[in-house]
Chains A and B, each alone.
Chain A
Amino acid sequence: MTTAPASGTADAPSATPKLKTSAMIASFADPGQKTAPAPFGHALAAAAETDPRIVGLTADLGKYTDMHVFQKAHPERFFQMGMAEQLLFGAAAGMAETGLVPFASTYSVFAARRAYDFLCLDIAEPGLNVNIVGGLPGLTTGYGPSHQATEDIAIFRGMPGLTIVDPCDSIDIEHAVPQLAAAAGPSYLRLLRGNVPTVLDEYDYTFQLGKAAILRGGADVVFVSSGLMTMRALQAAEELAVHKIDVAVVHTPTIKPFDAETVLAEIDTPRLAFTLENHTVVGGLFETVASAATRRGLGKRVVPIGLPDEFLDAGALPTLHDRYGLSRSSIVARVLSELG
C-alpha cells in the first residue's frame, strides 16, 4: 500500500494511488498557472522602505507566513516573539502605542482562537494600527481542524473596528499591504503565501480597501466572492460560458467594512445569486451578504457555496476542495444543478 497515512482511508488498495496530504502549506495554484513568490513579504519590505513606522513580528512562523522576506530586508525592524501568540499581540499593541505600525503574523487558527482576547482588548479597543496577518485561512491545508481556520471571519466579524481583508491573489496582497499600513485602525489579513497565483492582472481592477468590484459582467448568474474563491469563481464562469451560461463575478476582498452598496446593486437583479467563500457558511461572506440584503428589504434568494458547518477532514487539498465544494468543477456542477 503506497497511500500515506494522512490521506488514507479504510478502503482496500485501489488501482489509482491516492493523493497525499503533502506539506503543511499546500499550493492551490493550478499546474502551469502564473504565480508570484511570497507577495506579502515583498510588499511589506517595499512598504517599509517608504514608511519608517512599519515593523514586523511573528510567533515562530516567519518562514511560513513569508515574514522572513521582510526580516531579510529589514532585520533591525523584525521581532521574533516565539511561539507565544498572546505576547505577539500584546507586544504589537505596545509597539503601536509608541507610534510604530506593526504587522504581526501567525496562523489564522492561532490569531482567531488562541489569542482573541489580546487582539480584542490590546489592539482593537484602543483602535491601534496593528495589522494581523493570518496564514492558512479557511481550507488551505490538509492537516485537519488544528490548522484549518474555517471560522476565522465568523470569529472576527463581531470585533468592533477590525477591518477584515480576504485577498484573491498576489496582486490583491501587493496592493492591500500599503493600504493597510496607511489606514488608521487594526486589520486582519487572510494571508496567501508561498507561490501565490496571479489572476487579477487580466482584469480592469485594482484593490481598494473597503471596496467591492465587478470583475466581469454576466446576464444569467451573479457570483459574489472573496479570497481564493474569486479565482475559482472566474474559472467556473469561463467553464459555464461553454454551457451558454453568462456569469458575472463580483469580488469583495474587504469583508468588513462591507461594501453593501456595490454588492447589493448586483444581487438585486433577476439573476441567480451565489456567494463563494473559503470559509464556513456560518458567519462569513454569505451571512454578511444575507444580512445586508435583509436590511435593505431584498427578498432575494442567495445560494451559499462555502465550507460546511463541520470540522473538516484531513487529506490532500484538491481532494478536500472537491469534497467540500470549493473546486472549479464542483462550483460548475452546483450552478448547473441550481439552474435545473
Chain B
Amino acid sequence: MTSTTPTTAQHAYGSGPDRGIGFEERVRRVQDAAYRIRHHVLTMGEVQGQGYVGQGLGVADILAAAYADQLRYRADDPHWEERDRFLLSIGHYAIGHYAALAEAGIVPVAELETYGSDDSRLPMSGMASYTPGMEISGGSLGHGLGVAVGMALGLRLQGRDERVFNLLSDGELDEGSTWEAAMGAHHHQLGRLLALVDVNALQADGKTETVLRTEPLLDKWTAFGWFAQRVDGNDVSALLRAYDEAEVHSELTGRPSVILCDTRIGRGVPLLENREKAHFMRIEESEWQLCRDELTAGHEGANR
C-alpha cells in the first residue's frame, strides 16, 4: 500500500472556533480534518464497492469546518445538553457524516469498516436511532430544516443559546416543506439557526437545472428573509469566513443564516471529479487504492 488512512486529529475539537491560533492555522486544521474525512469516506466506500462517495468527498470541507472548527460538543457525550445540534437531512450523505463523526472522535475510526453492513451502527442512510451524534433520521428529503426550526424554537424557549446547523442539499430545495421551514425560521426570527446547502448541482435524475431549476438561490433565500452567503464550498478559507460571518449574525432573536456552498462531486480525487457525474457512483475494485493515492498526493501537494 502506498498510502493508508491517516491518523486522527492532533487537536481536541468541540469548543467552537479557536480564535487564539489565528485564521491561517484554523484553515490548516480544517484542511487536515477534511483530508482525513475524505480518506474515511473512501474506506467506507470500498466496503460497499459503491455508493455516495462523490457526495461524501464533495461535502468534506463543509463537514470539517463544522466539526473541527465551529461546533461545540463533547465527543464522549453525544447527548450533552449544551451541544450545538448538527442535523443531516440528506440521509444518503451519511457516509460523509460518519467520516466527520470519526474525525470528531464520536464514532471510532475502526468502526467505519462496518458501514452499511448488517447490525452496524452505521447504516447506508443516516438515522438517529442507530448512530451516536446523529440528531435526526434523514432520508426522506425536505425534513431536516423543519425539525431544525422546532429545535431552535425549543432551545430558545428554555433559555438556551445552542446553535442548530442543518446540512441540506440543493436537491432538497425541490421540496415545498423546505420552504415552509424557511418561512417559519424567518417568521420566528431563529438567529441561532444555520442552514448549509450543498449545491453540487446534481440530483438523482441528472443535473439540477434539468430536473427542477432552483436558481437564483441567493436571491431566493434573501427574499425569504435569511442572511444568505454563497461561497465555493471546497475553499476552506472562504467557508470559514462565511461560517464566521454567520456566527456574527447569530443573535438569539434575529435573521436565520444560510451558506450556499457550491461543491464539486468527488472533490479531492481527480479520478472521480472528472468521471461522468452520477448520483450513485460505481467504482471498480482496482480503483480504490488509486483514489487514495490521488487524495494523498493532492493534499501533500497543497501543503508543500
Contacts and interface: CB of A to CB of B under 8 A. Distances in A.
A96 B145 CA distance: 15
With most chain B CB atoms within 10 A of its CB, the pick from A82, A97, A99, A100 is A97
B212 interface: no
Interface residues of A, number: 28
A19 to B, nearest CB: 38
Interface string B179-194: 0110110011000000
A90 interface: yes
A98 B129 contact: no
A126 B177 contact: no
- The dominant DSSP class at the B interface is helix
Nearest to A117: B140
Contact of A94 (B137, B140, B150): B150
B152 A77 contact: no
Contact of B157 (A77, A81, A89): A77
A84 interface: yes
A96 B151 CA distance: 8
A55 interface: yes
A117 B137 CA distance: 12
A86 B176 contact: yes
Given A84-B184, A100-B154, A126-B137, A94 B177 contact: no
B150 A125 contact: no
B149 A91 contact: yes
The 3 closest A-B pairs by CB, nearest first: A94-B150, A90-B146, A98-B154
Nearest to A121: B140
A98 B158 contact: yes
Given A95-B153, A121-B137, A82 B184 contact: yes
A79 interface: yes
- The dominant DSSP class at the A interface is helix
Contacts of B46: none
A148 B40 CA distance: 52
B256 interface: no
B47 interface: no
A274 B221 CA distance: 56
Interface residues of B, number: 31
With most chain A CB atoms within 10 A of its CB, the pick from B129, B148, B154, B155 is B154
A29 B181 CA distance: 39
Nearest to A85: B180
Contacts of A79: 153, 188
B9 interface: no
Contact of A122 (B136, B153, B154): B136
Contacts of A96: 150, 154
B150 to A, nearest CB: 2
13 contacts: A82-B184, A82-B187, A87-B181, A90-B146, A90-B147, A91-B149, A93-B150, A94-B154, A97-B135, A98-B154, A100-B158, A121-B143, A126-B136
Nearest to B156: A98
Given A90-B150, A91-B147, A125-B129, 6 more contacts: A86-B180, A90-B146, A91-B181, A91-B184, A95-B150, A98-B155
Interface string A193-235: 0000000000000000000000000000000000000000000
B128 interface: yes
Interface in A46-90: 55, 76-77, 79, 81-82, 84, 86-87, 89-90
Contacts of B135: 97
Contacts of B14: none
Contacts of B160: 98
Given A77-B157, A99-B154, A122 B143 contact: yes
A157 to B, nearest CB: 20
A320 interface: no
B150 A92 contact: yes
Contact of B147 (A76, A81, A99, A122): A122
A116 to B, nearest CB: 11
B142 interface: yes
B257 to A, nearest CB: 17
A126 B187 contact: no
Interface in A98-136: 98-100, 102, 117-118, 121-122, 125-126
Contacts of B158: 98-100
A87 to B, nearest CB: 4
Contacts of B188: 79
